[in-house]
Amino acid sequence: MTTQQGHFINGARVAGEGGRTHDIFNPTTGEVQSSVALATREEMARAVDAAQKAFPAWAAVNPQKRARVMFRFKELVEKDMEHLATLISSEHGKTLPDARGDVQRGLEVVEFACGIPHLQKGEYTEAAGPGIDVYSMRQPLGVVAGITPFNFPAMIPMWMFGVAIACGNTFINKPSEKDPSTPLRLAELMMEAGAPEGVLNVVNGDKEAVDAIIEDPRVKAISFVGSSDIAHYIYSNGAAHGKRVQAFGGAKNHMVILPDADMENVVNQLLGAAYGSAGERCMATPVAVPVGEETADTLISMLKPRVEGLRIGPSLSEDSDLGPLVTAAHRDRVANYIQMAVDEGQELVVDGRDFSLQGYENGFFMGGTLLDRAKPGHKSYDEEIFGPVLQVVRAGNFEDAVALPSQHQYGNGVAIFTRNGAAAREFAQRVNVGMVGVNVPIPVPVAYHTFGGWKRSGFGDTNQHGPEGVKFWTKVKTVTQRWPEDVSGSEFVIPTMG
């Protein structure tokens, strides 16, 4: 073991003091490559102190100057792209090109946040009553926090602090203990870009650090992304402590394939969406829903050789389709779900469990798995697997295809592939899911729109980034003003504009 990652508090890297640590693996080799300190409540309180101290001055910086910091940060991240991608790839296990995408999608939110002078403007009504004007302003909340998952160590922190800091808040990121190096590096780059000390802090840790955030009255809002049970825990406990909370959870995204779809295109798109990043994406497509037996049979026969031919390799290789899973424990969990699916009666068309990569026998690799004839009521279908596993659920008709994703406990993303515009339009209107793709397999909205799932994929009512992000990270103050020429008498009736 070479290094230990600590925290980034008040503008500098600091070592952890609590003594508890967590191993960071290299998923390609299976070796422990370093460790991360797990913060105590006292260390978290110190980060909140720093953020609290930095807040008044940062909130008072005019929005154009805050935007300039974001512009400089964007340039520094672009210059550091290869270093960041390598950090991500070597701790997470996603391929280098995919790791660059992780950084790029986060940067797109930073680009959006560069428009904060315009985005944070309030509204104004002249002459709302006799001599009365009304205006509103969007003010930052204060110290806010983001608790982030392992699977996008660059994009998701940037979704959160990109908008929150541009709005004038000061921020504490509690990243995943599995791959903490990228968020720490992003904090260094924010300092270099001109963010004052204490504006962005990164505190590593586990439940103890998270509970310290939830219980600290100085933290005004929490944005969470991770699995649904933890999302619900943070949503309900955060709200009980009087905080504004948005908490995004797990997913089981379906791709509906109508009989008229271009099957060559479907198979190409589905392969990347199901197996890219070893299926460890909340917007991956782990379920295909072909409509009609003929569509299903064609899909399976075209998919089988393509799944068997997936290029699985070391994460740092430029030409792997997918790398290893994040940990051995997660790989074993995915393998258990595959066995469960078989026991539930699903047909194992391709079994990825025995895959081993020559020279990397201890890496956390797994081949692509394809299962046919999954059904609602099968635990392996009802729950999220989060691995390189695609389940096919055969739908009899269009109504079944709308019902399957609509009735699933998760409602993050869904896609429909068809040449029929009217069917696609009806599907998009009726389906009970937060983000819909029409002939687009992974419908992650662009930065200036907004990201958020429904049902057990999202708790709270305000989404990530876009105008909804600005709304989440600010509070509205409304001023009603009158400059009377003469003031006479008192009014005891509620004032109206009538």
Please choose, out of 55-63, 163-171, 206-214, 475-483, the segment that lies near ligand NAD by the rule CB under 6 A. 206-214
Distance CA 373, CA 344 (A): 10
- Least separation in angstroms between residue 280's CB and ligand NAD is 7
Distance CA 476, CA 453 (A): 25
**Please, are residues 116 and 167 in contact by the beta-carbon 8 Å criterion?**
yes
Q: Establish if 46 lies at the interface with ligand NAD (CB under 6 A).
A: no
- Least separation in angstroms between residue 235's CB and ligand NAD is 12
Distance CA 274, CA 51 (A): 40
Among 13, 83, 207, 379, binds ligand NAD (CB under 6 A): 207
| Angle separating helix axes 263-275 and 293-308, nearest 10 degrees | 50
**Among 484, 284, 286, which Cα is nearest to 381's?**
286
Please choose, out of 7-15, 44-52, 108-116, 243-251, the segment that lies near ligand NAD by the rule CB under 6 A. 243-251
Q: Establish if 43 lies at the interface with ligand NAD (CB under 6 A).
A: no
Q: Establish if 273 lies at the interface with ligand NAD (CB under 6 A).
A: no
Q: Establish if 225 lies at the interface with ligand NAD (CB under 6 A).
A: yes
Distance CA 119, CA 124 (A): 15
| Angle separating helix axes 155-166 and 181-192, nearest 10 degrees | 30
- Least separation in angstroms between residue 147's CB and ligand NAD is 5
- Least separation in angstroms between residue 457's CB and ligand NAD is 5
- Least separation in angstroms between residue 284's CB and ligand NAD is 8
Total binding residues toward ligand NAD, as defined by CB under 6 A? 26
Distance CA 22, CA 1 (A): 12
Token pair for 60: 């008072």
Site string for ligand NAD, 116-155 (x = CB under 6 A): -------------------------------xxxxxx---
- Least separation in angstroms between residue 322's CB and ligand NAD is 16
Please choose, out of 32-40, 66-74, 184-192, 225-233, the segment that lies near ligand NAD by the rule CB under 6 A. 225-233
Burial, 264: exposed, middle or buried (Cβ in 10 Å; 0-12, 13-18, 19+)?
exposed
Q: Establish if 182 lies at the interface with ligand NAD (CB under 6 A).
A: no
Q: Establish if 412 lies at the interface with ligand NAD (CB under 6 A).
A: yes
Q: Establish if 226 lies at the interface with ligand NAD (CB under 6 A).
A: yes
Give all strands of the β-sheet with 132-140 in edge-to-edge order. 124-129, 132-140, 474-482
For residue 185, what are the CA distances in angstroms to 88, 172, 472? 11, 14, 25
- Least separation in angstroms between residue 181's CB and ligand NAD is 14
Q: Among all chains, which residue has been given the structure tokens 């929150």?
A: 164
Q: Establish if 463 lies at the interface with ligand NAD (CB under 6 A).
A: no
Q: Among all chains, which residue has been given the structure tokens 């400089």?
A: 72
- Least separation in angstroms between residue 230's CB and ligand NAD is 4
Annotated catalytic sites, by residue?
282
Question: Smaller CB distance to ligand NAD: residue 314 or 434?
Answer: 434
**Please, are residues 26 and 328 in contact by the beta-carbon 8 Å criterion?**
no
Q: Establish if 227 lies at the interface with ligand NAD (CB under 6 A).
A: yes
Q: Establish if 248 lies at the interface with ligand NAD (CB under 6 A).
A: yes
What is the dihedral sign for C-alpha 426, 431, 435, 437? Answer: negative
The residues pairing with 136 across neighbouring beta strands, listed in sequence order, are: 478
Question: Smaller CB distance to ligand NAD: residue 98 or 177?
Answer: 177
Among 146, 276, 323, 453, binds ligand NAD (CB under 6 A): 453
Question: Smaller CB distance to ligand NAD: residue 463 or 474?
Answer: 463
Please choose, out of 188-196, 223-231, 355-363, 421-429, the segment that lies near ligand NAD by the rule CB under 6 A. 223-231
- Least separation in angstroms between residue 404's CB and ligand NAD is 18
CA 453, 459, 463 angle in degrees (round to 5)?
55
Q: Establish if 170 lies at the interface with ligand NAD (CB under 6 A).
A: no
Question: Smaller CB distance to ligand NAD: residue 83 or 207?
Answer: 207
* Cβ atoms within 10 Å, residue 132: 16
**Among 167, 173, 166, which Cα is nearest to 193's?**
166
Site string for ligand NAD, 67-106 (x = CB under 6 A): ----------------------------------------
CA 475, 204, 149 angle in degrees (round to 5)?
70
**Please, are residues 320 and 309 in contact by the beta-carbon 8 Å criterion?**
no
Q: Establish if 287 lies at the interface with ligand NAD (CB under 6 A).
A: no
Q: Establish if 384 lies at the interface with ligand NAD (CB under 6 A).
A: yes
Distance CA 194, CA 156 (A): 21
Question: Smaller CB distance to ligand NAD: residue 9 or 225?
Answer: 225
Which residue type occupies 388? P
The residues pairing with 244 across neighbouring beta strands, listed in sequence order, are: 221
Q: Establish if 405 lies at the interface with ligand NAD (CB under 6 A).
A: no
Q: Establish if 249 lies at the interface with ligand NAD (CB under 6 A).
A: yes
> Would you list the DSSP string of 260-329?
TS-HHHHHHHHHHHHHGGGG--TT---EEEEBSHHHHHHHHHHHHHHHHT--B--TT-TT-SB---S-HH
Question: Smaller CB distance to ligand NAD: residue 268 or 432?
Answer: 432
Q: Establish if 26 lies at the interface with ligand NAD (CB under 6 A).
A: no
Work out the widest C-alpha separation in the chain, in whole angstroms.
90
The binding site for ligand NAD (CB under 6 A) comprises 147-152, 174, 176-177, 206-207, 210, 225-227, 230, 248-251, 282, 384, 386, 412, 453, 457
